[in-house]
Amino acid sequence: MGRGMARGAGGTVEAAEVARFDALAARWWDPDGPMRPLHRMNPLRTRWVMARAAEAGIAWPGARVLDVGCGAGLAAEAFARAGAEVTGIDAAAEAIAAARAHAAAQGLAVTYRVAPPETLVDEGAVFDVVTALEVIEHVADTGAFLAALAALTRPGGLVALSTINRTLRSFALAKVGAEYIARILPRGTHDWRRFVTPAELGRELRGAGFRPVATAGMTLRLPFAAWVETRDLSVNYLAAAIRL
């Protein structure tokens, strides 16, 4: 499951990806709608990110956080509620409009922008924590994407990603199972060939100037459909790295 930005001809964002997630904007905050998997996964993802930030010596209340590919703000709002100064960016204008409206209704001060990460790089912006949750599997050039995240992370800062491993098990569960059998995701949400293995992600993070520090699996436990942290990285997983 995911949403994100993809590099395409004529720009850093692929129009088809933007259109797909813009079409879901009106139901993004429906916990039983098409983004239901992200609603259920979000508490685990955000707690894990904040725990890794604490281990890196980053004081969370007041931390400057950038959520790349933020969609309508599920993670961004959770970070803001925990006391961070949050900026969320996404190329999908309708999703950002939904994010702004929801944050305003909740009385949360989150800065949302319709922009790719390269725009903030050009502006010289830097953050204590940069997240890209369910995003990198939608990016054609992962090296360039991680280089942009590196430019946006201060030295000693944290980057945290969640994504899907490229395995036969992930093809069966995250692609065929989720989109065609259980239908908990819209068809076409994922391209299995773009899934990134932990080894590939680790190499590319090092190449971008990061030091990987942690990984964890995310597993859906039945019968209550709760996401829990595990050592199983074969499908959904989290990764964190420190900017050198």
3-state secondary structure of 214: strand
Placement of tokens 């997240």 in the chain:
131
Is residue 232 a known part of a binding site? no
Strand segments, DSSP code E, in the chain are: 64-68, 85-90, 111-114, 127-133, 153-164, 210-221, 226-230, 236-243
Is residue 83 a known part of a binding site? no
Instruction: Specify burial of residue 153 (Cβ count, 10 A radius: 0-12, 13-18, 19+).
Output: buried
Is residue 122 a known part of a binding site? no
**How far is Cα 74 from Cα 63, in angstroms, rounded to an integer?**
18
Is residue 161 a known part of a binding site? no
Residue 163 bridge partners (DSSP): 237
Show binding-site residues.
45, 69, 90, 133
Q: Which residues are annotated as a binding site for S-adenosyl-L-methionine?
A: 45, 69, 90, 133
